[in-house]
Amino acid sequence: MSVITCRGVTRRYAQPGMPPVTAVAGVDLTVEAGTIVAIEGPSGSGKTTLLGLLAGLEVPDEGVIDVLGHDLARLSGAERARLRQARIGIVFQSFGLIASLRAGENVSLPLALARVAPRERDDRAKAALEEVGLESAFGTRIDELSGGERQRVGVARALVIDPIVILADEPTGSLDEANASGVLALLTDAVRRRGASLVLVTHDPASAARADRHYMMRDGRLSIGVPA
């Protein structure tokens, strides 16, 4: 069963006085339930734009994106946001954490937005932090954590909603080699343990090699890749 299906997806951006830039060009993609898919490519290849489209943060100019049975273009912005809150975890390269909140508060934020009761969201946030090896960091300020620890908090936040799909945009791009390997292992192990699906955008062949299916992206076009 597929959890994501893209057919002919194209996204263009207007430029004043110049022809539009095509960031994503006629992409077809299917992500099956319980699989890890890597999309590898250099900066500017369109892979982050594609991930934003899969998350419903943008809508395509052409084509169809079906995520968990929903045609994203037919949903309102609020409906797409509710779908993300309930079923789609997102991990950002730059962590995407709120510095004024402590680690546990950052992890539980999706649950707060979904109006989960405070005690339940604290319990679930603690469990998610324990899953990434940071059970003692619940009350720790974000600026007291290392880069690797911050990204583990980001992974815990993606996991706390028990997602069906996780979208990860260069999740190890801001980390050194040792931390990158550890964070990626945590993320992929958690995904497989839960039977979720992961779409991993990366420029790193070693990260892409962990996937079940591997694609290359160049100039907005997607092609089947060969794992390193």
Give 26-38 pLDDT, tens digit per residue: 999 999 999 999 9
Cβ–Cβ under 8 Å, residues 129 and 156:
yes
Residue 45 structural domain: 2-224
**Between the CA of residue 135 and those of 53, 103, 132, 148, 149, what are the distances in Å?**
33, 10, 8, 15, 11
Please count the structural domains in the chain.
Answer: 1
Cβ–Cβ under 8 Å, residues 123 and 169:
no
Q: Residue 109: CB partners within 8 Å, gap ≥ 6?
A: 98, 101, 157
Question: What number of CA atoms fall less than 13 Å from residue 201's CA on the CB side?
Answer: 26
CATH, residue 213: 3.40.50.300
pLDDT of residue 205: 85
Give 4-17 pLDDT, tens digit per residue: 999 999 999 998 88
Distance CA 145, CA 26 (A): 41
pLDDT of residue 124: 96
Along the chain (228 residues), what's the average pLDDT of each consecutive run of 10 residues?
96 90 96 96 92 95 96 94 93 88 95 93 96 94 92 95 95 83 91 95 87 94 73
Q: Residue 211: CB partners within 8 Å, gap ≥ 6?
A: 36, 37, 38, 198, 200, 227
